[in-house]
Structure 1
Amino acid sequence: MFEPENDIERMLMLASAEPAERPGFARALMDAEVFLVLVPKGGPIVPGPDGNVTIPEGTKLTLPSAVRGEEKLIPFFTAPSRARAWFRGDHIVAPDRTRDLFGRYPDAPFVLNPDSDYGKHFTPQEVKFMLAGHFEDGPQTITTKAPEQVLLGHPKEIPDALIAALGRELDAVSSVRGAWLMLASRAGESEQSWMLGVDHDGAWEDVRAAIGRALVGDVLKGRMLDAMPLDSSSLSSTLRTGIPITASERGFLKKLFR
């Protein structure tokens, strides 16, 4: 039984049941006090009679990893009791602030309250979004300052629900001539994301809004989705070989049936 011990835990429970509450929880979490498990290396922690601990000279404190499959994540906790319940070995629990923690490890995946009834995984991309002040569930526009290395591939399992949702919304946008979906692996990130390429001749804001409507619910299954307008680049050429999302290339059909 998970009994909330503070406001951020009450917000976490509410956000887990109400999607509309999730942006507010993410915003509050960034400036909330959270807690880390620190494990000694080089010497034991010595408890004093006053309840404080002494760290012997030469002892280093390190963050343990939580494991999900083959991936290692940085654990953090909403209360000291959650940290103590997760790590049974010799350790101390130290307070921190989520914004500072994410800022120190912006390229790392995190997990809040591992092995607890209420928690959340954060991909490196989610961490970057939150550090940049993006908390909404809808799509965000991010401009990169330097070229990124992106490897595209076809998924082993077809995301039928995601394809159906994107197809339904993009088919309703008259400026969309075609759209294709592939898996993307970015340099320095352990988790794959979806990459959607859209061929259109109208306002990108209309496409962006349609994608936002399609992503309501859990169709992404924890993955991130990036979308880009297609042009003459090699990346766009590769994306056109992906899973077709829209029913057809409208321009081609219009020429056939006029």
Structure 2
Amino acid sequence: MWKHLFGGRKQAEPAESPPPFAPHNALEAALMTAARDPAARPDFERMLLEAELYVATPEAPAEASVRTVGAGETLQILNVADPQGNPIPAIFTSEARLAELFGAGSGYARLPAKTLFEMFARSGAWLNPGLAYGVLWSADDLAHLLGKPVRRTIAKETSILLGTPARRPEALIRSIVATVADSPTVQEAWLALAQWPEGNASWYLDIRSAAEPDAIAALLRETLQSGPHEGMPVDLVVNAPGSGPGHGIRLKPGELH
């Protein structure tokens, strides 16, 4: 979930006016653009996944150094309180942003964004908490960023309304077709508009394949990561070949005319 965040610098203190947010690097400039223009968010997220981010640690080392964190090693990271008051890991776009919240001289570690998102896969994370520009991600949001499927548990009596969209999501269709058209693991693909009982709408991508769902999610990773499409997420469903006709627009084999 994207949020353009404003507010005080520390949640335990009365709200203050944050200092002007002049970008310290290309990632921060892209963040500011993405906060103002939703169309720029996929580009920011692609840049983010290739970046290194900062996390605060309880103690500062005697001197700055670069080392490799070993497998199984525990790295202590400072949290902040999310809007509901629950602890959530704090990550930052630069050392200077970390110092704005935790103070100059705070301990920190710099790690690849993908590594941090994997570490926080169950908790979510808050980028630049309390500062003028940042993003609050849930665990599902981080799964989306990493191109991993977000699991839904559906009760037996749940009804999902599926239909053909009145306005075709052409960019999404092109992305799906470009991926699955020549894939030997995908026999059929259908795209419908889904209305869930809680009132949420999504694109319902029904793939017919004998492959494992995780393998299909990996195949479609770029498509899943580049959303939301037309303001909605994509729900991926993998059914066995020969499961009967799907709903909505048939993308593979080619559409019926």
With structure 1 as the length reference, what TM-score do the two structures score?
Answer: 0.50
Match of 2:42 in 1: 23
Match of 1:62 in 2: 76
* 1:69 to partner: Cα distance: 1.5
* 1:89 to partner: Cα distance: 8.7
For 1:28 and 1:52, the matched residues in 2 are separated by 26
With structure 2 as the length reference, what TM-score do the two structures score?
Answer: 0.51
Please say if residues 74 and 111 of structure 1, whose CA atoms lie closer than 8 Å, have aligned partners that are also in contact.
yes
Please say if residues 181 and 197 of structure 1, whose CA atoms lie closer than 8 Å, have aligned partners that are also in contact.
no
Match of 2:31 in 1: 12
Please say if residues 181 and 195 of structure 1, whose CA atoms lie closer than 8 Å, have aligned partners that are also in contact.
no
CA distance 1:72–1:172, change in 2 (3 Å): same
**SS of 1:181's equivalent?**
coil
* 1:90 to partner: Cα distance: 7.3
Q: Which runs of 5+ in 2 are unaligned?
A: 1-19, 66-73, 169-190, 208-227, 239-257
- Check if 1:120 corresponds to 2:135: yes
**SS of 1:2's equivalent?**
coil
Match of 1:188 in 2: none
Q: How many residues align?
A: 167
Question: Following TM superposition, where does structure 1 have runs of at least 4 consecutive aligned residues deviating by more than 2 angstroms?
Answer: 88-91, 147-153, 169-173, 175-181, 194-198, 224-229
Structure with more strand by fraction: 1
Structure with more helix by fraction: 1
The residue type equivalent to 2:197 in the other structure is L
Please say if residues 38 and 94 of structure 1, whose CA atoms lie closer than 8 Å, have aligned partners that are also in contact.
yes
Identity %, equivalent residues: 20
Q: Which runs of 5+ in 1 are unaligned?
A: 54-59, 134-141, 154-165, 184-193, 206-210, 217-223, 230-258
Please say if residues 73 and 109 of structure 1, whose CA atoms lie closer than 8 Å, have aligned partners that are also in contact.
yes
Match of 1:111 in 2: 126
Match of 2:145 in 1: 130
> Larger C-alpha radius of gyration, 1 or 2?
1
**SS of 1:94's equivalent?**
strand
Match of 1:94 in 2: 109
The residue type equivalent to 1:82 in the other structure is R
For 2:109 and 2:42, the matched residues in 1 are separated by 26
